[in-house]
Amino acid sequence: AQSVTQPDTHITVSEGASLELRCNYSYGATPYLFWYVQSPGQGLQLLLKYFSGDTLVQGIKGFEAEFKRSQSSFNLRKPSVHWSDAAEYFCAVGAPGYSTLTFGKGTMLLVSP
C-alpha cells in the first residue's frame, strides 16, 4: 500500500518570499501524485498532478511541483507567496490499478506581512 508524509504541519512565510512544501511518498513504482489546497470553510481544490513524463509540473495559481524518483519526493513550490495563499495544502498519492487516493496529513501555510 502507498503512503504519504508531509513532514511540516505548519509553515510561516513572509509575503513575497519563496515557498517549498515537502511531500514524501512510499510506493514501489511511479505513483500518481497530486497537490490539493484547502481554504477555510471550503473543499479541496486540485493544484496540480503528475502521472508521467516531465518531472516538473505546472499548476494553477503559480504553483509548480517537481517529482524526484530518487528521493521519493514531490515538493510543491511557488516563487513569490501572496497573502491569499494562506491555506492548508495536501499531498496525495494514487497507484495504477487502484481507485483510491492516500492523502498526507496536510501542511498549514501562514503568510506574514
Partner 1 sequence: DSGVTQTPKHLITATGQRVTLRCSPRSGDLSVYWYQQSLDQGLQFLIQYYNGEERAKGNILERFSAQQFPDLHSELNLSSLELGDSALYFCASSDGQGTNQPQHFGDGTRLSIL
What is the binding site for partner 1 (CB under 8 A)? 32, 34, 36, 41-46, 49, 51, 90, 94-106
- Put residue 32 in one of left, alpha, beta given phi > 0 → left and psi -120 to 50 → alpha: beta
Q: How far apart are CA 87 and CA 104, in angstroms?
A: 15
Q: How far is the CB of 41 from partner 1 (least distance, A)?
A: 7
* Smallest distance, partner 1 to C-beta of residue 59, A: 11
If the CB atoms of residues 81 and 89 are measured against partner 1, the closer one turns out to be 89
Contacts of 82 (CB under 8 A, 6+ apart): 15, 111
Min dist. Cβ of residue 42 to partner 1 (A) = 5
